[in-house]
């Protein structure tokens, strides 16, 4: 009876319960935690869904549809061919309406293809190479070696599969910094922390309560995102579910520690917002949420790999997309644990109630 009574009135338990009640009474907080990641996954999933091969717009000069070579190009499904004069074709190329202008020149028994395109536009460059291949074949070119094409359509290689671990990492970072750091400063501004100072609650109990309540909010947030992308887009976890859960909990703890550190002394909303943006912006840009972080120069790769969001996303992608064991990700796990422990210890030392 005594143990139940002490647990009931434990400062840590009561703070966790209070944070849960406060969170679920705020529709805006519920939306940004649960609804926003789903909207982003939906928008990007449909924007980068698997689509049929792109059709290239090609303008032909000095040609007629009865020409057998031109007829072969017109029949090719990859090209949308238009017969045009030079002035109009140049205007269409300049304004991006067409990707390529082709001129067919016949001199006695010789045949020549002249291509006008914009090499800085990827579609224009690809259209040039594809049209040249089609026209050369139509003119009688024979390939030296045979070749076969196989289309890869397995789940796991799509952009939405690549995106989901990034969105999970982004949610954990935002939840840890805003859900812990911002809330702490808001309590300080409203003088709530001063009231806690007058209670038997200790500093470590308060900080542990904030972190524990954030982990409780995290569970339905991540589960909702995983279930939504699984049933809507067919995103599958190719690794161990236990490994994913462990990585999520470690990542959430690391970012909650960073959130406490950022908010340990900030006294205004402007100050904590600036500090959180200073921490989050480099990771938003460089940690590989929406594209591979390897795109950045080699000189900055050591810094990028040391960021906690990079470590978390890389570990999640290795497990979810490639099916690696969690033991193979020990460098990333050690890095995340260090970020969490060091930031929490410093936050505990620097934290002040007012």
Q: Please name each of the domains of the chain with its CATH number.
A: 7-48+158-350 (no CATH), 56-138 (3.40.190.10)
Is 216 in contact with 20 (CB distance < 8 Å)? yes
C-alpha 92/C-alpha 81 separation (Å) is: 13
SS (HEC) of the chain: CHHHHHHHCCHHHHHHHHHHHHHHCCHHHHHHHHHHHHHHHHHHHHHCCCCCCCCEEEEEECCCCCCHHHHHHHHCCCEEEEECCHHHHHHHHHCCCCCEEEEEEEECCEEEEEEECCCCCHHHHHHHHHHHHHHHHHCCCCCCCCCCCCCCCCCCCCHHHHHHHHHHHHHHHHHHHHHHHHHHHHHHHCCHHHHHHCCCCCHHHHHHHHHHHHHHHHHHHHHHHHHHHHHHHCCCCCCCHHHHHHHHHHHHHHHHHHHHHHHCCCCCHHHHHHHHHHHHHHHHHHCCCCCCHHHCCHHHHHHHHHCHHHHHHHHHHHHHCCCCCHHHHHHHHHHHHHHHHHHHHHHHHHCCCC
Per-residue pLDDT for the chain (354 aa), expressed as one digit of tens each?
Answer: 445 555 555 666 666 666 666 666 666 655 655 666 677 777 766 666 655 667 889 998 877 777 888 888 888 888 898 888 888 989 988 888 899 998 888 777 778 888 999 888 888 888 899 888 888 888 887 777 777 666 665 556 678 888 889 888 888 888 777 777 777 777 788 777 777 766 767 777 777 777 777 777 777 778 888 888 888 888 888 888 899 989 998 998 888 888 888 888 887 878 878 888 888 888 988 888 888 888 888 899 999 999 999 999 999 999 998 889 999 999 999 999 999 899 888 988 887 776
Which pLDDT value is given to residue 1? 46
The whole-angstrom distance between residue 32's C-alpha and the CA centroid of its chain comes to: 16
Kindly calculate the radius of gyration of the chain based on its CA atoms and give it in whole angstroms: 29
Burial (Cβ within 10 Å: 0-12, 13-18, ≥19) of residue 231: exposed
**pTM for the whole structure:** 0.67
């Amino acid at each position: 009876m005594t143990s139940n009574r002490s647990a009931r009135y434990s400062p840590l338990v009561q703070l966790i319960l209070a944070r849960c009640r406060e969170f679920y009474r705020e529709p805006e907080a519920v939306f940004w935690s649960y609804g926003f990641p789903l909207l982003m996954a939906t928008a990007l999933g449909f924007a980068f869904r698997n689509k049929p091969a792109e059709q290239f717009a090609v303008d032909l000069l000095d040609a007629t549809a009865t020409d057998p070579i031109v007829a072969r190009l017109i029949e090719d499904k990859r090209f949308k061919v238009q017969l045009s004069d030079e002035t109009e074709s140049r205007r269409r190329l300049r304004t991006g309406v067409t990707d390529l202008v082709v001129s067919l020149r016949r001199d006695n028994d010789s045949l020549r293809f002249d291509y006008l395109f914009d090499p800085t536009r990827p579609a224009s460059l690809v259209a040039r190479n594809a049209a040249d291949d089609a026209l050369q074949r139509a003119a009688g070119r024979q390939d030296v070696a045979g070749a076969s094409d196989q289309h890869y359509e397995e789940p796991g290689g799509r952009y939405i599969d690549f995106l989901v671990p990034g969105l999970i990492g982004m949610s954990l970072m935002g939840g840890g910094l805003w859900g812990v750091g911002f809330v702490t400063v808001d309590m300080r501004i409203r003088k709530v922390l001063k009231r806690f100072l007058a209670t038997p609650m200790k500093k470590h109990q308060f900080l542990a309560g904030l972190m524990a309540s954030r982990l409780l909010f995290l569970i339905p947030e991540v589960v909702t995102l995983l279930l939504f992308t699984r049933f809507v887009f067919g995103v599958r976890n190719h690794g161990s579910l236990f490994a994913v859960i462990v990585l999520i909990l470690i990542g959430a703890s690391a970012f909650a520690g960073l959130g406490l550190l950022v908010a340990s002394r900030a006294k205004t909303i402007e100050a904590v917002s600036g500090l959180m943006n200073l921490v989050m912006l480099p990771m938003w840009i460089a940690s590989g949420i929406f594209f591979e972080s390897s795109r950045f120069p080699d000189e900055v790769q050591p810094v990028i790999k040391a960021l906690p969001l990079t470590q978390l996303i890389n570990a999640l992608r290795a497990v979810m997309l490639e099916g690696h064991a969690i033991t193979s990700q020990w460098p990333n796990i050690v890095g995340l644990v260090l970020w969490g422990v060091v930031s929490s210890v410093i936050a505990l030392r620097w934290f002040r109630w007012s």
